[in-house]
Structure 1
Amino acid sequence: MSDLNAHVVIIGAGHAGGTLAALLRQYGHTGRITMIGDEPHAPYQRPPLSKAWLKGEADADSLALKPLAFYAEADIDFRPNLRAVKLERSARKVTLSDGSQVDYDVLVLATGARAIALPIPGADLAGVMFLRTATDAEALKAKVGPGKRLAVVGGGYIGLEVAASGRALGAEVVVLERETRLLARVATEVLSDFFRRYHEKHGVGFELGASVIGFEGDNGHVTGVKLADGRVIGCDAAVVGVGAHPNDELASESGLETARGVVVDLEARTSDPHVFAIGDVAHRPMPIYGRMFRMESVPNALEQAKQAACAITGRPAPAGETPWQWSDQYDLKLQIAGYAFDVDEIVVRGDPASGKFAVFHLKGDQLQSVEAINAPPEFMMGRQLIGNRKRLDKAKLADPSVSMKEVAA
């Protein structure tokens, strides 16, 4: 049952939390809204941190979801530089890092995820960095430029985006990846090989099958990355990008159901009817695939913000969406729709050497996922095919002379 006068407390002022606060007002919520954020900034876009921000093409103001004045004008009590440290569900009360307490009628956990730190010697040296926040991006930008060497630990999408931006700033860049290929956990070998070759053409070096066992330093600052084979890769700064862990401790300590993320339903509601969870922290249903999964993407944050806003204000649930995400590197735009669950066949459409192609992941004759490089029609129609679960003709799919509209028909 909705209550438009309820006090909604949002823990987290990222893309999910900021979007939810705005949607609640848009959907007619008249009660108090309190948004707690652990950064000094109002909600902002995070994907450009590894691209536009590092290259000096964006800052906090240009990336803000809304102007700071919006929150006061919309009567949203935005409290920056604070964390929630304790949740008492029986009393519907949250204790904050400054010792203050906030009562709620409805609580929304939008606490996101944090970078995984490597538990190895030297990890606390200055210059060993992560890239999750605007503060991280600003610190990294100050250390990257001509004459500098940047080591990137982790050959995933964030690592490759940082590598591309580092090269754009004139730095020497080397990527260190534990697996024998890039993007090993998230992409096909076709895509891995394509990105490696493309980055090498732009001057990025790679050490694949390289296990990092420590960082070396001088006067408290990193000077190199030590590998298991005894080599030390010299650097002026190192960015660690080996994944993220959901900030679900507040939920688990309060007795909410968690599964490497806070378990929610299709309304983004947790096992407590008064508590929701959205964005990177949520372990959510994926009806298309008949499973639960935790997603880290802006589209997921936006979709779950809509789900929670509708549930809180009593509006009909929004239509389900096919998950998607993207990555920009140099002049390449990678767009991914769906997830490659239970795949038994891969179809490549187009020639990777042309820099314009797509990789389709199939389960039988149904499309599970598509990875499209500079190929918007393949991405858009692929996303549609994933969502409607239509069976398709593999021969037509593999033939670039057949339009994607015809394939989808």
Structure 2
Amino acid sequence: MAEGHTKIVGPDLAQGIALSDLPDGGKLAGHCGGEQVLLVRRGTEVFAVSATCTHYGGPLAEGLVVEDTVRCPWHHACFDLRTGEALRAPAFIPLACWTVEQRDGRIFVGEKLKRTAPKPRSGGSGPVPKKIVIVGGGAAGFAAADMLRREQFQGSIVMISDDHAPPVDRPNLSKDYLAGKAPEDWVPLRGETFYSKNNIDLRLDTKAVDIDLRSREVVLADEGRVPYHRLLLATGAEPVRLTIPGADQPHVHTLRSLTDCRAIIEQATTASRAIVLGASFIGLEVAAALRARDIEVHVVAPEKRPMERVLGPQIGDFIRALHEQHGVVFHLENTAKSIDGRKVKLSSGGTLAADFVVVGIGVRPRIGLAETAGLVVDHGIVVDAFLETSEPGIFAAGDIARWPDPNSGESIRVEHWVVAERQGQTAALNMLGHREIFAAVPFFWSQHYDVPINYVGHAGQWDEIAVDGDITAKDCLVRFKRKGRTLAAASIFRDVESLEAEVEMERQMPT
């Protein structure tokens, strides 16, 4: 997403500030040459970088400094203070850096440094592959291709996607873009010239149907073949489809792609009433986006509380109340039995009328290609700590990958955008011969009207929920624990504490 216009605040750092105004470990936002600059002091060193995150423009002065990095308070992107490099998704573009001079007890920010390509990592093992193929045009596939070129991989990259559009910022499709608050140029992860400029052969509307393990080729639906030395499967997930009578009508939608989102927006321009089936994150974000368009929204879902399985009963009750305050009508412990024209018949016997229906009842990992090829599959594609599948040279990342999570000690599969991007980055490094364990703490965020919910970690089950603050006052950090150990934490307007919980989980992992 593009950054908005930043208001110039704070001291003029070209004129200098007293060293005593910036304590060790401290941050200070100011400006230099008409741009917002963040100063960070680490011992005797002082760094000057852009003050806003290159992902969504989060204020880094409100983030967390961890060793020689700074983390964004909004969506946990991480940047190197020395080089500005975007170390972790969801940010891919580096921060600008400035020279810093200390003299006479004062700190002065000088010229903006020219951006240089990051140095590739050393220490890779084995021969460098010449041909890398990525199957999938989502978060993981894009992040892998981007990382390969950032690491100055000189070989060919073929990216096979059965989508009609280049990789997009999918979270926006159920949030600001769907609500009509974001222009379409915020939606692509990168502009069209990115792929040609970086010599990435992006093949859209192209379907892979098999992998020939002996010849090391990906077989396409049109019977074409694409040879590889390393292969990344990043096929993502697909929406669970309704199987009830009437589910195949044109006014019944799922939301996964940009095409899906455009179809819903087009219908919303003339509609006055919608039904959302499912009280998942996607379902309720869609409900909020449609309410922003003044559409009457009814949510039908089988559970007793929205999101209780992931966020617990207290946050579930809060989310329901929040949506009700904005006019959403819930029909919980209920499912749709049939759709007859504009009428939806419920399992309770009632009937609801709506101009269109959005189905958000979950997704399934797209593991058919892996199954056809004979890779080991168990509720996802089984990968090792390096994201390599049972077949050497073939990796998997994103919604399809089931990996050993060092934090929970379990083998898990997570359907979160930032996790997919970070796995794509790690898989790229490992395809180049680096043995980097994927140990990032899972993170996701969800937006409901003006309330963001950040979640770090993974808690499939817990025996204790510890609430610090007040959920109903939109000021809390909620820890999900098992046997006294924090496995995950959800927060509302406790951004720094969310980052601190992430760091705490990183540090408690076995080494």
Residue 360 of structure 1 aligns with which residue? 479
Cα deviation, residue 293, structure 1: 1.0
Residue 128 of structure 2 aligns with which residue? 4
Q: Is the 8 A contact 1:3 1:312 kept in 2?
A: no
1:377 aligns to 2:496 (yes or no): yes
Q: Is the 8 A contact 1:267 1:308 kept in 2?
A: yes
Cα deviation, residue 145, structure 1: 4.6
Cα deviation, residue 166, structure 1: 0.5
Q: Is the 8 A contact 2:180 2:293 kept in 1?
A: no
Q: Which among 188, 196, 203 is matched to residue 79 of structure 1?
A: 203
1:66 aligns to 2:172 (yes or no): no
Residue 279 of structure 1 aligns with which residue? 398
Residue 282 of structure 2 aligns with which residue? 158
Deviates more, 1:66-75 or 1:106-115: 66-75
Cα deviation, residue 224, structure 1: 2.1
1:60-119 deviation per Cα after TM superposition (whole angstroms, max 9, x unaligned):
532222221121111111111111012211221112123311111111111000000122
1:120 aligns to 2:239 (yes or no): no
Residue 292 of structure 2 aligns with which residue? 168
Q: Which among 305, 317, 327 is matched to residue 446 of structure 2?
A: 327
Cα deviation, residue 268, structure 1: 1.1
Deviates more, 1:206-215 or 1:337-346: 337-346
Residue 92 of structure 1 aligns with which residue? 216
Q: Is the 8 A contact 1:248 1:260 kept in 2?
A: no
1:15-44 deviation per Cα after TM superposition (whole angstroms, max 9, x unaligned):
110111111111121111100111222111
Cα deviation, residue 318, structure 1: 6.0
Q: Partners in 2 of 1:93 and 1:255 — Cα distance?
A: 14
What are the residue-to-residue correspondences of 1:169-188 with 2, within 5 Å?
Answer: 169-188=293-312
What are the residue-to-residue correspondences of 1:22-37 with 2, within 5 Å?
Answer: 22-37=146-161
TM-score by length of 2: 0.73
What are the residue-to-residue correspondences of 1:256-295 with 2, within 5 Å?
Answer: 256-295=375-414
Q: Partners in 2 of 1:61 and 1:84 — Cα distance?
A: 29
Q: Which among 227, 230, 244 is matched to residue 346 of structure 2?
A: 227
Residue 343 of structure 1 aligns with which residue? 462
Residue 220 of structure 1 aligns with which residue? none
Higher RCO (CA < 8 A, seq sep 6+): 1
Secondary structure of 1:167's counterpart equals helix
Secondary structure of 1:188's counterpart equals helix
Q: Partners in 2 of 1:181 and 1:258 — Cα distance?
A: 32
Q: Partners in 1 of 2:142 and 2:182 — Cα distance?
A: 19
Q: Which amino acid counterpart does residue 362 of structure 1 have in structure 2?
A: K
Q: Which amino acid counterpart does residue 99 of structure 1 have in structure 2?
A: E
Cα deviation, residue 184, structure 1: 3.1
Indicate the percent of aligned positions where both proteins have the same amino acid.
36
1:257-308 deviation per Cα after TM superposition (whole angstroms, max 9, x unaligned):
0112111112111000121111111111111111111111122112211221
Q: Which among 433, 452, 456 is matched to residue 314 of structure 1?
A: 433
Q: Partners in 1 of 2:216 and 2:271 — Cα distance?
A: 54
Residue 83 of structure 2 aligns with which residue? none
Secondary structure of 2:459's counterpart equals coil
Q: Is the 8 A contact 1:149 1:173 kept in 2?
A: yes
Q: Is the 8 A contact 2:310 2:460 kept in 1?
A: no
Residue 301 of structure 1 aligns with which residue? 420
Larger Rg: 2
Residue 112 of structure 2 aligns with which residue? none
Q: Partners in 2 of 1:371 and 1:204 — Cα distance?
A: 23
Label 1:231 to 1:250 Cα distance change in 2 as closer, same or farther (>3 A).
same
Q: Partners in 2 of 1:3 and 1:57 — Cα distance?
A: 48
Residue 336 of structure 2 aligns with which residue? 212
Cα deviation, residue 363, structure 1: 2.0
Give the total of aligned pairs: 385
Cα deviation, residue 59, structure 1: 5.0
Task: Structure 1: state its 5+ residue gaps.
Answer: 218-222, 391-409
Q: Partners in 1 of 2:421 and 2:225 — Cα distance?
A: 28
Deviates more, 1:189-198 or 1:93-102: 93-102
Cα deviation, residue 371, structure 1: 1.0
Q: Which amino acid counterpart does residue 250 of structure 2 have in structure 1?
A: A
Q: Is the 8 A contact 1:43 1:64 kept in 2?
A: yes
Secondary structure of 2:348's counterpart equals coil
Q: Partners in 2 of 1:57 and 1:202 — Cα distance?
A: 17
Deviates more, 1:188-197 or 1:304-313: 304-313
Q: Is the 8 A contact 2:271 2:356 kept in 1?
A: no
Residue 140 of structure 1 aligns with which residue? 264
Cα deviation, residue 233, structure 1: 1.0
Q: Which amino acid counterpart does residue 286 of structure 2 have in structure 1?
A: V
Label 1:225 to 1:311 Cα distance change in 2 as closer, same or farther (>3 A).
same
Q: Which amino acid counterpart does residue 56 of structure 1 have in structure 2?
A: G
Coordinate RMSD, CA, aligned: 1.6
Q: Partners in 2 of 1:105 and 1:168 — Cα distance?
A: 48
Residue 243 of structure 1 aligns with which residue? 362
Q: Which among 291, 298, 313 is matched to residue 189 of structure 1?
A: 313
Q: Is the 8 A contact 1:261 1:283 kept in 2?
A: yes
Deviates more, 1:249-258 or 1:34-43: 34-43
Q: Is the 8 A contact 1:212 1:228 kept in 2?
A: yes
1:327-385 deviation per Cα after TM superposition (whole angstroms, max 9, x unaligned):
01110010001122442211111112212222111223321111111221331122222
Label 1:293 to 1:5 Cα distance change in 2 as closer, same or farther (>3 A).
closer
Q: Which amino acid counterpart does residue 198 of structure 1 have in structure 2?
A: L
Q: Partners in 2 of 1:289 and 1:49 — Cα distance?
A: 30
Q: Which amino acid counterpart does residue 303 of structure 1 have in structure 2?
A: R
Q: Partners in 1 of 2:469 and 2:270 — Cα distance?
A: 37
